[in-house]
Structure 1
């Protein structure tokens, strides 16, 4: 099993040659298969089918973070959070470009860019004891992310847990999710932190309800 943090550090030590090393190839394949392609495909509807643009953004981000990561925390968690934000920005950029090319009166009346179908939802975590579902489609994400930022101001540790969990993609296995949570807390086993994760979810769910954010 590839140790991501140590691999990135090894690539950084090699400097320019690190990008041509076996370590970088292994890192690239791992992130492409587990994170970049699955998450880009999850945004296919919002990207209007331009999954390739999302994948390209993931490749660019991976290279950037390998160059700039300071070695603290989990590189994987940092990438997932950054990639989510980059995909959101890419979607918004496409929407803005579309609006700029459709400024006639017919368009302004019809508003074709607005979604008419009910946004999809997905489970944040598979453990039945921790089961809560949030609507995190791109149309709702700005509100959700804004509330998460406010939640983290008062509850930084619990907010960090939710930050990690929002980055889970549909194809992730349960052990992969628990691994990311363990990395966040800096522990080897999930059992000691299970109650903390559960409390964080319940606290955030209550916070969303208090702020009238729809839970589905």
Structure 2
């Protein structure tokens, strides 16, 4: 894809949605961190329903740690892999208290050292909370990068690196959210809505309708 096409794609995304953000509901960096950990292989809608019950009761490392795994599970048992996620969340809270004074760290190494936090989750926190130009590549963005020609690659890391290299710098802070929303609602996996797509004429997808 030519640089002019990439520039136009993100100009259109920005014109349509100047201030994109995550669809996870949160009021603090810690709440977002917990929500993102819970969102692995789950929908944002499902996570929001669970955290709407959890956060009014416990929304700090100390209060969630006090629940323990068995106390946390009833709040999140509607989410897939809830037992392993409960274990991760409790371990994460303990580490935040013991190593970071209960605060969410703002560097990748410290974030990825937390239980249940991988590169994608760290990228979400670094971008959404700390406004660093990172790219959290989920299934939507991986598909979108390859399908549109914005960034082709065989692995998530390949696509991440190419997106960071190819996206014009003026759009990098918000590109993660634009791409996720576009992949979630327009450029869907089984049946992309090409007729509703604002970048239809710029996309390299050969099977577009």
Indicate the structure with greater helix content.
1
| TM value normalised by structure 2 | 0.31
